[in-house]
Structure 1
């Protein structure tokens, strides 16, 4: 699965947990999350594992309230925190094979792109840092309500 897709699913997971738990200490199962995401609970648990390693979620095993919850308030989890938890590689990568260094483009393209890629990724991260999971939940609910209102017209 593409990195960007894993990131989107991670955002979906955290937004779903936020909406379902509010400020309570309730835990949400991977099965519940999987129904919302439209994928398997096994895949959800893999992503939750990455989120747990980054201290964004907590897991509880056994008992009646088995599942996952946020490790801290949703307004304290930025979209950048989530990105860094699930994306292990740079956004942009260089060639898979070594370009011809006897060619002016082959020799200079990677250093030129490296500079552009670094600036682009830094700008994206700065943007993601400005939004929290609670912001995403508010926007998600607003979009849902807008679509529901349009259906009634």
Structure 2
């Protein structure tokens, strides 16, 4: 599954947990998976990444086992989530070295590094301005339609 898709699923998970946060309880992954439309096993992998980043808490064992937000939704930026589930830069350079004797092959990577770096920084600035609380409010507004 694409990294960007994992990011979208992570945002869905956190938004669902934010919606349910007033209950202050742990929710099992199969209940969250029902909203996301994917398997609980796959969801747990993403929840594990979110847990390592300090965005969710897990409670193991029988009754009451599951997941909940570790912080208030207003305190979790979309950038926090991006950094938790996107392990590498969004854009990558060639997997094999371009021909250094070719004028384009010699110059393409430095040119792309600048464009990719600037693009990713712009993305991160935008994501830092939005929170899970904002995403929840927008989702609820659109969900009414």
TM-score by length of 1: 0.92
Cα distance per residue 1:35-63 (max 9 Å; x no partner): 11111100000000000000000001124
1:75 alignment counterpart: 74
Q: Which residue of 2 aligns with 1:52?
A: 51
Q: Secondary structure of the equivalent of 1:91? A: coil
Q: How many residues align?
A: 145
Secondary structure of 1:20's counterpart equals helix
State the SS of the aligned residue for 2:144.
helix
2:60 paired residue number: 61
Q: Deviation above 2 Å: which 4+ runs of structure 1? A: none
Task: Quote the residue 1:150 is aligned against.
Answer: none
Counterpart-to-counterpart distance in 1, 2:62 and 2:120 = 43
Q: CA deviation at 1:34?
A: 0.8
Structure-2 separation of matches of 1:37 and 1:144: 14
CA distance in structure 2 between the aligned counterparts of 1:9 and 1:53, rounded to whole angstroms: 16
Q: Deviations over 1:81-119 (max 9, x none)?
A: 000000001010001211111110000000011011101
Aligned counterpart, 2:36: 37
> Tell me, which stretches of 5 or more residues in structure 1 are unaligned?
147-153
The aligned runs of 1:126-137 (5 Å cut-off) are: 126-137=125-136
- Secondary structure of 1:58 counterpart: strand
In the alignment, what sits opposite 2:98?
Answer: 99
Separation in structure 1 between the aligned mates of residue 21 and residue 28 of structure 2, nearest angstrom? 11
Structure 1, 55-64 or 42-51: larger mean CA deviation:
55-64
Structure 2 unaligned spans of 5+: none
1:149 alignment partner in structure 2: none
Provide TM-score, normalisation by structure 2.
Answer: 0.97
Counterpart CA distance in 2 for 1:41 and 1:19 is 19
2:16 — aligned with what? 16
In the aligned structure 2, how far is the partner of 1:103 from the partner of 1:122?
30
RMSD: 0.9
